[in-house]
A and B are shown apart, each in its own frame.
Chain A
Amino acid sequence: MNGIIQLKNVSYRYPVGEDWALRNVSIDIQRGELVSIVGNNSSGKTTLCNLIRGFIPHFYKGEVEGSVEVDGQSVEDYQLGQLGARIGYVFQNPFIQISGVKETVFDEVAFGLENLGVPVEEIIPRVEEMLKLVKIENLREKNPFELSGGQRQRVAIAAIIVMDPDILVFDEPSSQLDPIGTEQVFDIIRLMKERGKTIVLVEHKMDLVAEHSDRLIVLDKGTIVMDGPVREVLEAPLYRSFNIQYPHVTEVALELQEAGVELRFLPIRADELPLCLGAVERKVNPDDNN
């Protein structure tokens, strides 16, 4: 079956760039899948997100080769506005996502729906639900510019999810959040996955990536170097060569292996640590997490 997002042999060079930011990238993302993209900074993660949401080539020019299709249609053939309604994009930096034209959090969250021409009587309950879901009801009357970084990040997420797009792209959605706020964002991501959304996630916090992703794509210098189920990718010795973070528990496990401690399998979630050390005597199938 063809995926909801399909990239075929895509290469891209920014207008002023000498090198290709992405080289010969092919990805097929299925509807409802949660795919995480990892890689060190400048490996092309944000560029890849911009291709998926059509900002390349609609907004950023430059040189594109290959094809990017959303729902079987080339992103070039969409109006950028149409794509914006299909694909929600949560920026890495919440400071640039806030529109700057709205004076309250409530209005900021309603802004996208207004632009989509949704009737007012529908907007109000949808915004109410969203403020509750993202736990920012208490901020509704505040000016978005008076909020702390973490609060703004939540407003930014609410403003996107409220439009109910099929595809959500999260570019480091928790970078400014405290640990509880981060958990709350991932609760929202989990909920969106349960609602059948297709999710593309860029995130450095590998504990969360390991816990939530179906699939992991590793980018290195603009090329996809690994792509597979999250556990397979993290277990593969190749992953180590890219100097990308592991989940904390995996780092502990790798050190233990090096010191000669035998492990039953390589853990990628903290609660697997006792099992991999053999502390519990039972047959362990690491993929049985539920």
Chain B
Amino acid sequence: MFESGAVGALTGCVVNRQIVKLFAFIVALFAVLIGFTSYWSVFDAEALKEKTANKRPLLEQQQIRRGRILAADGTVIARSIPKGRGDSLRYVRRYPEGPLFGHPIGYSFVREGNSEFEKFHDDELIGEESEFTSILDELRGRKQEGNDVVTNLDPAAQRVALDELAAQGFGAVVAIEPQTGRVRVLASNPPYDPNRIPFDLRELNADSTSTPLLDRATQGQYPPGSTFKVVTAAAGLDSGTITPETTIDAPGTLDVQGQPLSNDFSQSFGPISLDTALTSSVNTWFAQLGEQVGEDTMFKYMDRFGFGSTPPIDLPDNQVYKSGLFGENRELLGPDDPVDLARMAIGQERLAVTPLQMAMVASAVANGGKLMKPQIWSRVVDPDGRVTKSLDPAEYSQPIDEETAAELNAAMQDVVTAGTGTNAAIPGVAVAGKTGTAETPFNESCGGGSDENQAWFIGFAPADDPQIAIAATVECTPLFGNDVAAPIFRDVAETILNGG
């Protein structure tokens, strides 16, 4: 019952042992502190910087002069101006061109955050180097400064695109240089003025009818209509299912899965080849071609053109949507799902595509079958005026071979000279293209009218030496692709070709 060891004099080693244990406990407690400090400051730091409640990274950036964003011709799209002095010095973003480049440049403000191009190229714009280089800079007393980023965007063409869209309705225009993937125009109507973001963000977000903050060029998901016949034709030719000479009998109406599938005015064409079928956009011809090509091959070629993946453009992933065939829960469908192949071949079914994706299709055909990665940026220029990085055009895929591309090119030229897309013609320049008019009756977003269409034109020019590939689309219009979209294509293409 008596514990003699512990009852000894206090000076004994028993108490000392407890003191040592207590110290060990304190050491353990302090180790926990170091552990937590390491976690917050190093291991979890990146995640913490992403938290919306954390304004610190933005406030710190605000003290750095963010680099400018320039158009291809040197027009200043975004710049930062200093406000206040000393400790309260900060830079505020200004967009001298107003709504012209709201899309795809986006905005950068402390409270509202970064979006689109400003977000994607944030590291370059604020001059974020690796931790090691920034320590070296600090030792040398250099203040962090942002780099300028020069884009491929063409202000004149962008303005033409936006003005003409404004006259026709909501929609988008995307123009890409086929050989390099340089994005020359990326326009979305309605636009918004990024200078107003600090004041109007809430209202802009709340506007669910015109959704001005939606970049329709990369986030608009529309039925492609007959423009998709280019993909079907590419799959048919490249897989060897048909040659340009192969004829298919095209009646006025086909019975597909118990529902009639008709040509315009139920016109019957008899046995015709690709050229005629594309020129007159013959539904019954392409529906049969789609069924002949087969589901696996159709999806294979769609994948090669970039459907089903996020397009590899320099914009944040969550601001670039995928294109493809979507199921009821917005999930992407594939070759193992039951699909109405005949209707998919003519751009119906549950296809939803972005204007960017359709511009990529036109661009691949224009570039001899090679699809280049679409890129908005061109080069990064450091504060001393040195070019530190410049775009090295990269191939994304080769969906079709050169021969197929040439055959499609020829057929698409006839569309403009003798077919459904005559309004796209440019005097003295050979133009290749394809119209599309997807019927979207009773569509909520169009106000529920009965004769609303999604009008499209995709194409490239000059057809013999393609300099620019363009997709133009207008939502909720009673008119056809050739009436509203083809003229936009023509004027944007002309502006770019004349400027070059």
Query: Do A and B belong to a common assembly?
Result: no
